Structure 1
Amino acid sequence: MPGPTGPGIISGHDGQRYRFAPSDLRNAPPAAGDEVDFEISAGEAKEIYTLAANTPLKALAAKRDWTQFYLSPSGRISRREYWLYGFLVTSCVGLLTGWIPILGVIVSLVLSWSGIVLGIKRFHDLGRSGWWSLIAIPPMLLTIFSAVINPNHATLTMLLGLITLAAMLWVFFGVLVRRGNEGPNQFGPDPMHPGIG
């Protein structure tokens, strides 16, 4: 996007980026993420009209199917959606309803499923199968099994615990906080730019 008097850049649906001058704007200057319509002339954007004043995330939130977002493992979500609408919302709901006897149990089950679904979608955003979200479970189960069956082998239990920790850290840093694939992949369109591709 341009400064008050300088040139700017627009990303097209074709994946190309086009320079433009402020004099090419035909209505309100777009903010980063706004949809625009423009013509291409000599590799530059001309006759630029701002179509929407919403950022992609706000527009996406306004038209999102929330049931599908929280309960269906298909598709992709961005890391921002995961932390803002996924982790933050489910954590708050869990804290507010967890102390209510029957409702708390039901909500906990639904939130557990939602946590799994949202994790799968983050793996999808990176072009990986959702099955990768289970990577920490086998070493965790082996750690518990080792500690219960043979408590005298603390070295083995500690080694398995370190493997479990490494798997959890990989999921956190390699998936939950990492930017997803740009553009569409085999699991769906780019959640940050759903119209591209």
Structure 2
Amino acid sequence: MDWKFLFLTAEGRIRRRDFWIGFLIVTVASVVLNILPVLGQIIGLLLIWPQVCLGAKRLHDMGRTAWLMLVPFAVAVVCMTLAVTIAGAGFVAALVLGASQAGHAAAGSALAGLGAASAIMSLAMFAGLGFLLWVGLTPTEPNENRYGPVPPLPAGPDAPPPSGPPPSAPIVEG
């Protein structure tokens, strides 16, 4: 496996196995870096590019444009905006009700806003998870496409057998 191609270029195609290996490496590196207080998060920003490269090549392998990676990001931004707006409205209502001596109603209003905000953020999380599974589990497009040739099959003991007739055995005369 060419690690430089896998993590540093967004052109070409990769198979599902390479995508999941790369995704696991980037995820573990991100978790490890997040243990470091400030420097880890700053260095962790550098992991965005390898993740974009993995996703782009995997979408290319499916015959799709890499711009589709913006869909879960856009869903997250919309959901975040809605969640902050609804939670803020709940807290404003709690402040108004709290000023009028309706303490239980104020707490209920604040909790209702937080509950709705949590539900909306869960929707964003499930949209992102669904996108990840779609990208990671969709089979390779079997033919060459506009993004390049079919990626080679993995080599090794777990590689699928080659297609075609089996090699003929040598004829021994004796």
Instruction: Please report the TM-score for the alignment, with normalisation by the length of structure 2.
Output: 0.60
Alignment CA distance shift 1:140-1:102 (3 Å): closer
CA contact (8 A) 2:14 2:58 kept: yes
Distance 1:95 1:147, change over 3 A: closer
In structure 2, the residue matched to 1:52 is none
Correspondence 1:1-197 to 2 at 5 A: 61=1, 64=2, 66-84=3-21, 86-100=22-36, 104-105=40-41, 107-151=43-87, 152=89, 161=121, 164-165=124-125, 167-193=127-153
Instruction: Give, in angstroms, the shift of residue 125 of structure 1.
Output: 0.7
Letter paired with 2:12: G
Q: 1:70, 1:129 → 2: CA distance? A: 18
Larger radius of gyration: 2
RMSD: 3.0
Larger RCO (CA under 8 A, 6+ residues apart): 2
SS at match of 1:142: helix
| Count of residue correspondences | 130
Match of 1:5 in 2: none
| Per-residue deviation, 1:188 | 0.9
In structure 1, the residue corresponding to 2:82 is in which secondary structure?
Answer: helix
**CA deviation map 1:76-122 (0-9, x unaligned):** 111100112x0222233334444456763454122121112111111
The one-letter amino acid of 1:120's match is A
Structure 1: stretches of 5+ with no match in the other structure: 1-60
In 2 relative to 1, CA 184–105 (structure 1 residues): closer, same or farther, beyond 3 Å?
Answer: same
Would you tell me which structure has more helix in proportion to its own residues? 2
CA distance in 2, matches of 1:141, 1:95: 23
Instruction: Identify unmatched segments of 5+ residues in structure 2.
Output: 91-112, 155-174
Write 1 or 2 for the structure with the bigger share of strand.
Answer: 1
